[in-house]
Structure formats: C-alpha cells, structure tokens
Amino acid sequence: MSDNFYLKDDEREIAEPIQLNEQESDIEVKRIETPHAEGPVRRSDGLLIHENDGSGETVKLDEFAFVGGLVTGEDESDDNGKKKKSKKKKKKSVNPAADGRRFKKKEEKIESRQQRKQEKEIRKAKKINEKLHRKEVEKLNRRLRPVSRKTFNSLGIVAFDTKAGTIRKNENHWIKTYKLEGLNPDNRNEFIDELTRFLSIRARITTNLTMAGSGKLVRTDFITFFVDGEDYESVKNQLGVEVKTLNSISNEVNIVPVSLNAFMNQVRRNFLYEGAEVDFENLTKKKADWKMDAFGDIVVKDDYFTSNEKMGACLQVIQFPSEINEELLSELLKINKPIMMVTDIQPIDDETNDDYKRVIERRYNTEIEAFENCFINVGFTVVVITENSELNNKVIDAVQGLFCDRNMVISPVYGNTADVLESSFSYGIRDYHSMRNIPVGQVKKLVL
C-alpha cells in the first residue's frame, strides 16, 4: 500500500511524493535529499522524513521518539529543558486465569468497602439511639437532685431523692438504706430464714455497736438494698416489693425508711465525727464535696487503721464451716468494745446453683441429690475500734481466736483496708464486698 504525502518545512513546500513501505512489524521510511533544508524535514503530522545529512538511508519508525512536539531520536523535553520519560502502554494480559483472579480481587475490595460503609452507618445510628435513650432516661430521673461534680468524682454519686434517701450511683447502680427495728435473738432466726427465701436482690445487714456514756454498748441495725436499673420509677417499685415482703415476715421486725440527711449523718458518726449534724442538701447547693464532710481521714498501716485519734482493724471471714456455732456472736459481744458486723447476702439463681452443684460433684467425684436452692452467697466483715495499738492487737487476737475455735478462718484485710472500712462505714456508698457460698440455713447465725 502506498500513499502520497506533501511535506512542509517552514514556508517551503515539497510536493514530491514519498514512497512508504508497510510490513508486518516495521514501517520503513525512504529519506530524500533536501540540500537547502535546515534541520529535519517532517510531515504535517510530525513524522520525521529527512535529516539534512544527504545519506539517503532508511530508518525504522520505532527508533524515533517525540520531544517537544517534534520527532527525533532523543527523549522528549518540556519547556524548562527537563527530560520526560515517554509513556509506555501496558500490554493487555492474555492469561484468563490471572484476569479472573484480578477480577475476583477487585470484587472483594468493592464488597469490603461496602461492608465497612454499612458498619459505619450502623455505628452512627447506634450512637444516635443511645444518645436519645440517655435523654429519655434523664427525663424519667429529673425528679432526683443532682450532686456536685466533686461529690460525683469522690463517691460516684450522681443524684438522690431527698425524702426517700435513695441514692443513684454511676453505671445505673442504686442503693437505699433502711433502719431495721425490733430485730433480736428471739425473732432473728425466723426473719433471716424468710429473708433468704424471698430476697431477689443483694442486701447488706449492718449491726453497729457503739459505746454509750454509761459504758454499755448500744445497738443499731440497718439493711441496705443494692439495685441495678435505669429509671428511678422501676427501682422504686422494686424496692417497694422487697420491703413489703420483708415487713410481712414478722410483726416485731419493721423496715423503716431513712431520709438522706439522717442516713448521711449516721455515716458521719461511723467515721467518729462529733458535734452538730450537717445539712447535706445545703451542701449540694454550695457544690461541696460530701466526702469531705462525711468520710473521715483514714491512715492505713499494715493490718490496722487510725482515724480521729482512734485505732482499729477490719477483718473478713475467708473460710466458713459447714455448720456455724450459734454462740459465736454472743461471745463476740463479750469483748465489750465498739464493733461493727456487716453481713452481705446475694441470692443465687437456679442456673448458677446448678453450675455450682456440678463443680462440687466433679471435685469430690460424687452425686448430690438434695441440692436445689441450698446455697447462698455470703460475706462477713468485722470492724473493731480501740484507743491504742496495744489494745488493738489484743482485740484482733481475741476475735481471731474466737472464730478459729469454731472452725472459721478470719483475717485482717491487707492492702484493701481503706476500701473495706469505707464500704462498711458508708453502708455501701463505697461498695466493696467479698463473698462465698454457704448453706442457706447458716446465714441466720451470722446476724446478731
């Protein structure tokens, strides 16, 4: 195949035809002699036809490259004189398997990108729903009075009900302390037995023995309920059911509500504060820290603590016998020192009870028949207060000996003395407990 081409160099035209021979892989260009032309002669489309050397040789087309819009044997240069590398076209793959793998990989990337996008939208929608839910919960709890930021940081209290004395803590934990009136050794067994049967939430019974001016110990009993819930109305209803059930057990034992000020001032007395009572509602208006006015400064050293020129120790039972001696607590009173006894009670549901049964059966390689609802989670703490270190050591030795004689292991708390003491004195505002499984019928022997 041949065509006629007309060449143009500056203002001069060359009208002589040029013969092009096209072959399978190369195109040859025949050079012509143009003695008066300066520089290379090229076609109107930029193809070099002749260099002014008079050689007349034929040159293969693939030896040429464009530079600055002109075809020469050198690399292309831009306006600043810098060389540019010529772009090479990628060869198309002729391997169907490789093409299939690339296509599959591309599809996986697209699918992964879409999945990440969906997950992001789901997380965004979840955050929006959680935010709306929190706003709805706050609306339901707006009847409660919020505390100051300082109180929240030190005690974890969020808000409270002034009249009922219910305290809302962080993470939707609630506590409510009642005064337990009329409990004595005669009606204790009946009341505690029924309590362990009907109790559906965790409870703490605190017996506080303080020294009166006459030198006699004065006893006060409190019961604290621990509830988890979002809105105050549901928590209030649950507490009402528990109190109604326990009040129906005995005509002699009454569970009496305690106002917030009465409750917090009792906590203050536990920390050995003396003097006039404090109005904690007024402290809230002043944005004060409740801990500064209710919790005493505690200095912990080894197995004892000092607070307001007093010395004491916290002891916890770490091993219970299968049968607890009923004379234990009455013997404990003979020490005739200010003492606090804290009994934590956590009901065990049927599923957890069955799991515990299987663990016992595997450990002792035996089958237990009568096991249903026969165990309950219990913790027992004793706090003693004395005037000096010598007396403190004597009281600790007496308590340990008393429990050891009845096959119980009780030991001073090491490392967590401040946590245990604050939890005991505050009736669970600062919550710390350690519990173990014991037979249900033995709980009554741990309550004075």
pLDDT digits (tens, 9 = 90+) for 284-301: 888 899 999 898 788 888
Query: For residue 219, what is the domain's CATH number?
Result: 3.40.462
pLDDT at position 357: 74
Instruction: Give the end of a domain, one of 84, 104, 135.
Output: 84
Q: How many residues does the chain have?
A: 448
Please report whether residue 114 resides in a domain.
no
**Cβ–Cβ < 8 Å for 430, 423:** yes
79 and 178 belong to one structural domain: no
Please report whether residue 280 resides in a domain.
no
95 φ, ψ (degrees, to nearest 5): -105, 105
Please report whether residue 243 resides in a domain.
yes
pLDDT at position 240: 92
Residues 6+ apart with CB under 8 A from 375: 348, 353, 356, 437, 438, 439, 440
Average pLDDT of the residues in 413-434: 89
pLDDT at position 32: 44
| Total tally of structural domains belonging to the chain | 2
Please report whether residue 357 resides in a domain.
yes
327 and 440 belong to one structural domain: yes
Give the confidence band of 272 by pLDDT, cuts at 50, 70, 90. confident
What whole-number distance in Å separates Cα of residue 219 and Cα of residue 199?
24
Amino acid letter, 162: T
249 and 398 belong to one structural domain: yes
369 and 222 belong to one structural domain: yes
> What does the DSSP 8-state code read for residue 201?
S
Please report whether residue 130 resides in a domain.
no
Please report whether residue 136 resides in a domain.
no
Residues 6+ apart with CB under 8 A from 434: 316, 318, 379
pLDDT, one tens digit per residue, over 316-334 is: 999 888 788 777 777 888 8
Please report whether residue 46 resides in a domain.
yes
Instruction: Give the end of a domain, one of 39, 65, 84.
Output: 84
pLDDT at position 429: 93
Give the confidence band of 373 by pLDDT, cuts at 50, 70, 90. low
The pLDDT mean for the chain works out to 78
pLDDT at position 63: 41
Which of 105-109, 164-168, 349-353, 422-426 is predicted with the least confidence, judged by mean pLDDT? Answer: 349-353
Domain residues for the domain of 246 are: 173-227+237-255+292-446
pLDDT, one tens digit per residue, over 165-185 is: 999 998 889 999 999 998 887
Instruction: Give the end of a domain, one of 69, 84, 99.
Output: 84
